[in-house]
Amino acid sequence: MPLTTARPVKAFDPLLRLAHWWIALSIVLLIATSQLAEVFEHRPREAVLWEWHIVSGYALTAGLAVRVLWGLVGPATARWSDLWHPLAWTGLLRLHWPAARRGHDAAASLAFLFFYALVAVMLVTGFGLSATEFGTGPLAGVLDGAARFEWLFDEPHEAGFALILLFIAVHLGALVFHHRRGERVAQAMVTGNQFVAKDTGAGHE
């Protein structure tokens, strides 16, 4: 992706960037609290760490809700249509990499949509676990103390966690790859600017 021109193009609006960093930070907190809770298993701190894990889940829910709504009413480069590139995805099967464009990278968009679906599954299974294990959260009213349903949420939550880690590794790996090729991709979610060779316009391949 040759993003080499000196001329910056405005691409990502402030609310989209805020949602990105809110979601990223919530996920980092979710990972940190769950891993620390495992380390402190059967010790007094364990319960507090799971409480923080659930609070971080609420934060992620808020971030996802804002992102979903902004995808419906926000500017062109924040819309869900800017992440929808089926032609480019079928091209990937023929090893044809899509050209750089203003807005979301066409190939990366597939991973982003997958990621959001995964986050939704993680939230439902996470709140399922908080209700069945701790009797708290939005599903507590229907699942309170129903420990026999824990298995329903446990395995999908574990598998989803592994996929989230995989997404983060691929996402950060792709950003490092572009950085090493001298392409200023990573800064786009900080400044909102992209350096596209030709402004193809949001919403096009």
List contacts with ligand HEM (CB under 6 A): 16, 20, 23-24, 27-28, 67, 104-105, 108, 112, 115, 168, 171, 175, 185-186, 188-189
Residue 143 or 196: the one with the smaller Cβ distance to ligand HEM is: 196
Least distance CB 122 / ligand HEM (angstroms): 11
Residue 29 or 152: the one with the smaller Cβ distance to ligand HEM is: 29
Least distance CB 198 / ligand HEM (angstroms): 15
Least distance CB 98 / ligand HEM (angstroms): 11
Q: How far apart are CA 29 and CA 35, in angstroms?
A: 10
Q: How far apart are CA 155 and CA 165, in angstroms?
A: 16
Least distance CB 145 / ligand HEM (angstroms): 33
Residue 152 or 163: the one with the smaller Cβ distance to ligand HEM is: 163
Residue 99 or 152: the one with the smaller Cβ distance to ligand HEM is: 99
